[in-house]
Structure 1
Amino acid sequence: MSTFPARFGIWALVHGSRAALQDPDEPYDASWARNRALVLDAERLGYDSVLVAQHTINPHDPNLDQLEAWTTSAALAALTSRIEIIAAIKPYLYHPVVLAKMAQQIEHISGGRFALNLVNAWNRPELERAGIGFAEHDARYAYGREWITVVDKLLRGERTSFAAEHFHIDDYQLRPADPFRARPRIYVGGESEPARALVADAGDVWFINGQPLDDVTALIADVSQRPRPNGAPPLRFGLSAFAIARESDALAADHLAHLFALAAKDAPLRAQQKQNIDPKAVMFQTFAQTPRVGSNGGTAAGLVGSYDTVAERIVAFRRAGIELFMLQFQPFEADMQRFAEEVIPRVRALEHATI
């Protein structure tokens, strides 16, 4: 079992509902006002983290609203007092010097509660239509490796010179340095071989997409045995999951069926999205193997059932090494509260009983 206490986080609704976009009980809303209220509620309910995914245009439909990640994260840093704020970053969208300065500033605003989530992009139009270009899969990871090397050094307050294929940094240093810790926490996503190598070398926490327990256990075993940089602590692990917790397994199954029916209405959008995806992205190859609702693996992690069932499955993932559960819900606000009140206390009690 992970030696760290279980943590629970939520995905900000940066592009609306996570399971189905045409839900009469949850109208499409990716506004700042909704996300502000959502994150403040999550903090009040005891959630530990919020992940703000980065897109400049909506990945489902460019005509739909899309919240911007980094300005949102800065605002949330000023409004909250306890919750960790994780902003995703696609390296091609920001020069590492600029991004490091932004991250350092949000770290100060938050009082040491900021983290960045390195993702190497899968939505082709977002980069191509901006004239940036969409490099081949492994080339994106090579670029990301250089990029995070520069960012890491700058976040640590080091005077940095760096020369490689993509970046040439000459005696650069950012001030003020981080007064709270060595640097903000770095999460890394992706499950391809380049992604696994990158997280072992440069990450603090590996974000694993929602999938069955046996698959997650195998992923953790593979990456855990890889060497870490000298002085780096052991890698920690997070899991994305769409949770449906109800009074009984049957009621949870009914709600899952309801969401599958709603999600079917989004089939044309999903087909368009599929055309925009890099076919080498392991995430989407994995998703195709298991029917699910929700993004980033969604219900494939199996957190669907009674309060007791979901709590027991979470503890099973904890035994495999998962520390942070980054959760999605629909209806989001109501189920987020239900989970905090019914499932999290059961998880704490089960873990306490095993100590």
Structure 2
Amino acid sequence: MDLGIFIPIGNNGWMMSETAPQYMPSFELNKTTAQLAEEAGFEFLLSMVKLRGFGGSTEFWDYNLESFTLMSALAAATNDIQLFASVALPTLPPAMVARMATTIDDVSDGRFGINIVTGWNQIEYSQQGLWPGDWYYEKRYDYGSEYVQVMQDLWSTGQSDFKGEYFEMDDCRMLPTPKEQRIPLVCAGQSDRGMEFCANYGDYQFVIGDDDMSGVREASANLQKHAEASGRKVGVYALYFVIGRDTDEEAEQTWQHYKDGADLDAIAFMTGQAGLDTSGATAETITNLKSAFNLNIGAITGSWQTCADKLDALGEIPGVDGVMCVFDDYPRATKEMGENIMPLMKSRPEK
């Protein structure tokens, strides 16, 4: 089973909590995390795209680096690990993103991929005058399908004459092409339509983890149903907080301490934005967050052995190819996972 890290491109990582570690994003923090991850044997890193935060007492995600430029720098600072940057489709034309990806593919010697973010958080785009209109809620995956087809044309042949409802290419040229004439794509849409989109175009689908793993099991089965219809192989990467300590009790106490500090104002702002999605998909997926603190992501907590066992259990779910980990203190937790958890796992690939 593959292991990856959702690197801290935004302030405070993914913990909407006043009692969790508070820090700003920086290249040095992400470079340190990336190099520790590569040394430990992680398979991939992913950086999100976030253009406006959710405020609150923690100023959650009010501070963010830019995904593509960060990953290009990390490509030059690493040797083997796979790197995924995220693109928010309303902000950049597909031909430009295709060229950006090809450049980082060259920098990384073929280790680069893209996370496709169709975009649901209206204020991120309206603040720049880039929100397409409320029609986009219902049509964003149709838009995304054309977007990806343009990029795939350019990556495979260096030329596109694609004609669609949203994009029209007129002998669009892009040379050189990527090393393999393709760039791997990952997606994270949790709705049924989002799963269908990934089954048609993606290589991996990120699924938000849940504590008893039933949601991951259900989502993986749904993705495989769509993948069978599309005739493609698509794997699941489950997203989980990992809190490992010497004992189960110590890990649970740490996790509870973070939950007790939930930044409710930031959570309320985020859920309010989700409610603007007139298609209902985002609001349906992001549930009960006013009493949560972590975007409803499940947690793998416990001793080093307990964490290893839980990760192995995820690897036994049909269709699950890996886990993308979220940490509290990234450099420390990355090192500890490599030293204390990964050697105990039975599902890790042989190196």
Contact residue 204 and residue 235 of structure 2 kept, 8 A: yes
Question: How far is the alpha carbon of 1:233 from its aligned partner?
Answer: 4.7
In the other structure, the counterpart of 1:85 is 83
After TM superposition, where is structure 1 displaced by more than 6 Å over at least 4 residues in a row? none
Match of 1:11 among 6, 14, 23: 6
Q: Distance in 2 between matches of 1:351 and 1:12?
A: 21
Match of 1:315 in 2: 312
Q: Deviations over 1:143-193 (max 9, x none)?
A: 1111111112212234311111110002223211222x2312110111212
Counterpart position of 1:209: 208
Give the distance between the partners of 2:201 and 2:255, measured in 1 at CA: 37
1:50 is paired with a residue of what secondary structure?
strand
Question: Structure 1 length normalisation: TM-score?
Answer: 0.88
- 1:101 offset after TM fit, Å? 0.4
Taking structure 1 as reference, are residues 62 and 88 closer, same or farther at Cα in structure 2, changes over 3 Å only? same
Counterpart-to-counterpart distance in 1, 2:243 and 2:50: 26
CA distance in 2, matches of 1:8, 1:97: 31
Moved more, 110-119 or 155-164: 155-164
Shift of 1:137: 2.1
Task: Find the aligned partners of 2:166 and 2:270 in 1 and give their Cα distance.
Answer: 29
Distance across 1 between alignment mates of 2:108 and 2:326? 24
**Displacement of 1:38 after TM fit?**
2.0
Secondary structure of the residue aligned to 2:209 is: coil
Q: How does 1:5-44 map to 2 (within 5 A)?
A: 6-17=1-12, 18-20=14-16, 22-23=18-19, 26-44=21-39
Separation in structure 2 between the aligned mates of residue 243 and residue 284 of structure 1, nearest angstrom: 25
Q: How does 1:188-227 map to 2 (within 5 A)?
A: 188-211=187-210, 212-227=212-227
Answer whether contact 1:209 1:283 (CA < 8 A) is retained: no
Contact 2:112 2:183 in 1 (8 A): yes
Structure-2 residue corresponding to 1:52: 47
Q: How many residues align?
A: 339
Deviates more, 1:126-135 or 1:67-76: 126-135
In the alignment, structure 1 segments of 5+ residues that lack a partner are 1-5
1:335 Cα deviation (Å)?
A: 1.8
Q: Is contact 2:9-2:48 (8 Å) kept?
A: yes
Conserved 8 A contact 1:116-1:184: yes
Q: How does 1:320-339 map to 2 (within 5 A)?
A: 320=317, 321-339=319-337
Counterpart-to-counterpart distance in 1, 2:272 and 2:347 = 44
The equivalent residue for 1:76 is: 74
> What pairs with 1:159-170 in structure 2 (closer than 5 Å)?
159-170=159-170
Q: Please tell me whether residue 305 in structure 1 is matched to residue 299 in structure 2.
A: no
Alpha-carbon distance in structure 2 between the residues aligned to 1:316 and 1:98: 41
**What is the CA distance between 1:213 and its match in structure 2?**
1.5
Partner Cα distance (2:238, 2:283) in 1: 16
- From the superposition, tell whether residues 93 and 229 of structure 1 become closer, same or farther in structure 2 (CA, over 3 Å): farther
| Counterpart position of 1:3 | none
- Counting only pairs closer than 5 Å after superposition, residues 114-125 of structure 1 correspond to structure 2 as 114-125=112-123
**Cα distance in 2 between the residues matched to 1:57 and 1:253:** 32
